[in-house]
Amino acid sequence: MYIGDYLGRRAIYSPAKLAIIDYGKNPEWRLTYRQMNERANRLANHFKCIGIGKGDRVAIFARDGVEHLDTFFACAKLGAIHTALNWRLHWREAVGIIETTTPKVMIYSDDFKSTISEIEHATRNTQHAITNYIHIEGDGIPNSTHFESSLQSGATTAVTCELLEAEDIVALIFTGGTTGLPKAAQVSHRMIAWNTLNTVIHDVTHNDTYLNVFPMFHTGGLFVYTLPQVIFGGTTILIRQFDPALVLSLIEKERVTIFGGVPAMYQMMTQAENWERANLSSLRFCTSGGAPLPVPLVEKYTQEKGIRFKQGFGMTEFGPGIFALAPEDAIRKAGSIGRPNFFVDARVVDDNNHVLGPNEIGELALKGPSYSSGYFNNPKASKDAVDAEGWFHTGDLAKYDDEWYFYIVDRKKDMFLSGGENVYPVEIEKALYQHPAVHMCAVIGVPDPFGKWGEVGKAIVVLKPGTRATEQELLDHCRANLASYKVPKSVVFVDALPISSAGKILKRELKEKYSIQ
């Protein structure tokens, strides 16, 4: 067995243990570790036949399902790189990522056939052309092969990469881009090992059943619990996408012991038609991240369902298991992200990189063996992210109290979170500036008035003299060029934007003015 053959090891240790339950299938698929390892070997052998080897990228544009894991583990056996794309991206954005990562294979689900068709057409006669398209269901685009048929055509012969090292890259996970395209964080086998250790110290056992609702293109979907569960020999349940009523029923039916979500998901579950009768007694704990969990929500789950909440903080480039807040501190330390996990060092620094003391606000910096290997094909960004002493600067403003509990105060940059997704105003502003009537613009995150998404985008726009544009026209323009979750919810037209003496737009003033409206 070599580094990367995760399922090969697990197939020896617990071959008959239930590994994956995929409720995206009807009826659901129940696969043991022996079966999962056979699938990974077959797919790896198929990949070898079509020319995939160490270091090659294999892209997947699909909703959650066992195919994501088949692809990940097949890539890991070969030393290839699993490259999951955000299926919420506009096809033009996806083309930009493909030009950077140059995958040889694109696996996709039928939901996104039209998007894949646009991608294929745009890259067809370029040096970035993808040579193999594989569809998971449906008919697929022309010259596309069927996933299950391709997998089953591969030999069952064990596949391993003898040349693989701990620092080799197994996956690319994309962050939100502040200058256009998202950056691809390079996840190494070393990073996976240390993140798993941080996770199991965080109270995962060999006998847990985990229900995953995070998309597999996120670090939350692949790496928060799913991969540690495989390494530890637990069972993971997959669903195509988050459905609050389905989640509640599956927790009861499958005796789920661990569940993770963002606060908006927990809020939606309380509004599901089966909330009152749902039996959640099998849960050992729930984990929440992405934003502070409101105390009333913690109290509702505790009082009505007996749930113990763990809260935390993670990011694509570092783990993602960085901080954890224990259940007993959920109310006492409300708003805190907790303390650093065991093998993570954390400190708060000022603009001169001087270490700050308790209750002083500065930038959160992290160090430890679960850090990623920089950004793919972006050496400048990789270098800029880490200082001379090896500390990764997160861009988040934070503080810690006298008991070493950390709090995120604000984001150093202008990113905001909407429904658990990172949204970067620069990307939206770039799209707005492509409209012929837009003279100046700024996009900010404001509280969602309906309380569903956390924050939503608001665009403040100055039109060119003599031109006209409506709010709906600009929103439609954004929708034609951006992923739907990035499109602002509202547009405000003004005569001028506040400008600093250095000529920069004062977004702080805009937030103060519009966040309370």
pLDDT in tens, 208-229: 999 999 999 988 899 999 999 9
Residue 161 is part of a domain; what is its CATH number?
A: 3.40.50.12780
Q: State whether residue 230 is helix, strand or coil.
A: helix
Reply yes or no on whether the pLDDT at 78 is more than 60. Answer: yes
Tell me, yes or no, whether 84 lies in a domain.
yes
Q: How far apart, in whole angstroms, are the C-alpha atoms of residue 299 and residue 305? A: 10
Separation of first and last alpha carbons in the chain: 60
Q: Percent of the chain beyond pLDDT 70?
A: 96
CB neighbours of residue 388 within 10 Å: 6
Q: Are 463 and 438 in contact (CB under 8 A)?
A: yes
309-313 vs 323-325, strand pairing mode:
antiparallel
The amino acid sitting at 414 is: D
Tell me, yes or no, whether 234 lies in a domain.
yes
Region 72-98: what's the mean pLDDT?
A: 94
Range of the domain at 428: 416-514
Reply yes or no on whether the pLDDT at 162 is more than 50. Answer: yes
Given 223, 241, 259, the domain boundary residue is: 241
User: How many domains would you assign to the chain?
Assistant: 2
What pLDDT, on the 0 to 100 scale, is given for residue 19? 98
Tell me, yes or no, whether 273 lies in a domain.
no
Q: Are 128 and 96 in contact (CB under 8 A)?
A: no
Region 494-507: what's the mean pLDDT?
A: 71
What pLDDT, on the 0 to 100 scale, is given for residue 179? 41
Tell me, yes or no, whether 370 lies in a domain.
no
Mean of pLDDT over the chain: 91
Query: Looking up tokens 């105390």, which residue turns up?
Result: 295
Tell me, yes or no, whether 259 lies in a domain.
no
Bridge-partner residues for 237, per DSSP?
Answer: 21, 211
Tell me, yes or no, whether 24 lies in a domain.
yes
Please classify residue 212 by burial: count the beta carbons closer than 10 Å to its beta carbon, then call 0-12 exposed, 13-18 middle and 19+ buried: buried
Beta strands across the sheet bearing 105-108: 144-146, 132-135, 105-108, 57-61, 81-84, 169-174, 184-188
Please state which of the ranges 143-157, 159-173, 175-189 shows the lowest mean pLDDT. Answer: 175-189
Reply yes or no on whether the pLDDT at 418 is more than 90. Answer: no
Q: State whether residue 270 is helix, strand or coil.
A: helix
Given 214, 241, 268, the domain boundary residue is: 241
Given 188, 206, 241, the domain boundary residue is: 241
Tell me, yes or no, whether 363 lies in a domain.
no
Residue 440 is part of a domain; what is its CATH number?
A: 3.30.300.30
Beta strands across the sheet bearing 258-261: 29-32, 18-22, 235-238, 209-212, 258-261, 285-288, 309-313, 323-325, 339-340
Tell me, yes or no, whether 121 lies in a domain.
yes
Reply yes or no on whether the pLDDT at 450 is more than 80. Answer: no
- pTM attached to this predicted model: 0.83
Nearest to 92 by CA among 180, 216, 184, 183: 180
